[in-house]
Amino acid sequence: MSETATQANPGLQRDELVQWVRVTLVQRLKLRIKPEEIDENITLFGSGLKLDSVDAFELAIAIESEFGIPVADDDVPGFGSVGLIADFIINKQASAAA
């Protein structure tokens, strides 16, 4: 998903964001699965996909550079699933627009 697309459509639909998170996880973290294999609700850290803190920071950087949303250290524990991350982005975009 290009920067131009997200800037032109700041209120991206949730399912598009969910897809962006899935694709980003696979590409940035080099997961050997297909994006569509990542269930929206599967646990990402600790169990489930068993990602770790470095993966979390990598994801944070991706969100910051794609959407221009700063991700604080306190936000990172909330990245429990693909769905929760998509909701985080939506909420941040909504507060920025408000």
**Residues contributing to the site for another protein (CB under 8 A):** 28-32, 50, 52-55, 57-58, 60-61, 65, 73
Q: How far is the CB of 23 from another protein (least distance, A)?
A: 16
Q: How distant, in Å, are the alpha carbons of 33, 43, 51, 67 from that of 71?
A: 26, 20, 18, 11
Q: How far is the CB of 83 from another protein (least distance, A)?
A: 22
Q: Which is nearer to another protein, 14 or 58 (CB)?
A: 58
DSSP 42: S
Alpha helices by DSSP H, the chain: 3-8, 14-29, 53-67, 82-97
Q: Which is nearer to another protein, 65 or 91 (CB)?
A: 65
Q: What is the Cα–Cα distance from 59 to 91, expressed in whole angstroms?
A: 17
Q: How far is the CB of 87 from another protein (least distance, A)?
A: 22
